[in-house]
């Protein structure tokens, strides 16, 4: 009895696996993939691993859109012009295969976070100071008393926010960078998600710049580097001396030649 049950389960699993394989999942991408502001245009592109007859785009708790496909394209694009607050949110796509009624599984979700410039940018400050030594704990404080619900810390040159925090009751957060290294040097800014709008974002606020200086080398290393310095100075002096000697000989040789030319010329006249 037991082997039969195993066979049944195995058989069911194989059928399920092959069906899932027949209609591979699409993937969804957002363009531009961040920094979309209210009123901007954006595109959601559903990448189709197989030829599809219909493609659906769903918004969580919102509208769904569909597109019939005729051409042999490997993606379906959904364009949005003049974005509104309602467009912010989480999206999925799904498709139906042309020759059958089979429907794929939904893609992984994509989140559209819209920047809404109606919200004031947050304030920022940095402690203890902008120039610190390696190993210091640095705190970046961001606040907006009226609107901020979750704060995000951004570093210039990084695409994604580096930290998220929920504020205390005065609407402020403190991001701590523990034991900073020179790699933490850079320009930092904050933004926040307003209360009740997890897919809206305030504009980025003012920046603070952190400069982390390396710790001085240990005394032993300093001795070694002093030794190196002496060697370098001696080498430099030797090079200058050799160069000066070279120049001297060239000038000397030239004056000899000129002297000879003149004496030759004198003979010619």
Ligand X SMILES: *[C@@H]1O[C@H](CO)[C@@H](O)[C@H](O)[C@H]1NC(C)=O
Binding site for ligand X (CB under 6 A): 135-137, 178
DSSP secondary structure letter of residue 18: H
Output the residue with the shortest Cβ distance to ligand X.
137
Residue for token digits 């991408």?
Answer: 29
Rounded to 10 degrees, the C-alpha dihedral 232/237/240/245 comes to -140
| Closest CB 103 distance from ligand X, rounded Å | 52
Q: Rounded to whole angstroms, how far apart are CA atoms 5 and 100?
A: 31
Rounded to 10 degrees, the C-alpha dihedral 76/80/81/85 comes to -170
> On the CB side of 149, how many CA atoms lie within 13 Å of its CA?
11
| Closest CB 148 distance from ligand X, rounded Å | 24
| Closest CB 179 distance from ligand X, rounded Å | 6
**Whole-Å CA distances, 107 to 42, 67, 131:** 19, 16, 46
| Closest CB 35 distance from ligand X, rounded Å | 33
Q: Rounded to whole angstroms, how far apart are CA atoms 151 and 204?
A: 11
| Closest CB 137 distance from ligand X, rounded Å | 4
């Amino acid at each position: 009895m037991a082997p039969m049950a195993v066979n049944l389960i195995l058989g069911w699993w194989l059928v399920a696996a092959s069906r899932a394989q027949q209609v591979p999942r699409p993937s969804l991408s957002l363009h531009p993939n961040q920094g979309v502001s209210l009123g901007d245009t954006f595109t959601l592109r559903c990448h189709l691993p197989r030829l599809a007859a219909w493609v659906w785009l769903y918004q969580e708790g919102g509208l769904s859109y569909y597109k019939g496909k005729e051409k042999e394209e490997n993606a379906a694009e959904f364009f949005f012009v003049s974005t509104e607050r309602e467009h912010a949110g989480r999206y999925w796509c799904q498709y139906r295969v042309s020759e059958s009624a089979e429907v794929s599984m939904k893609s992984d979700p994509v989140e559209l976070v819209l920047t809404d410039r109606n919200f004031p940018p947050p304030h920022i400050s940095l402690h203890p100071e902008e120039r610190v030594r390696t190993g210091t704990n640095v705190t970046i404080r961001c606040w907006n008393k009226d609107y901020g619900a979750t704060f995000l810390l951004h570093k210039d040159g990084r695409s994604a926010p580096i930290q998220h925090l929920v504020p205390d009751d005065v609407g402020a957060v403190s991001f701590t960078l523990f034991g900073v290294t020179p790699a933490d040097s850079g320009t930092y800014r904050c933004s926040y998600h307003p209360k009740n709008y997890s897919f809206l974002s305030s504009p980025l606020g003012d920046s603070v710049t952190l400069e982390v200086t390396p710790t001085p080398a240990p005394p032993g290393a300093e001795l070694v580097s002093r030794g190196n310095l002496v060697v370098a100075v001696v080498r430099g002096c030797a090079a200058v001396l050799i160069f000066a000697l070279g120049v001297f000989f060239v000038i000397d040789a030239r004056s000899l030649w000129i002297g000879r030319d003149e004496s030759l010329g004198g003979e010619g006249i």
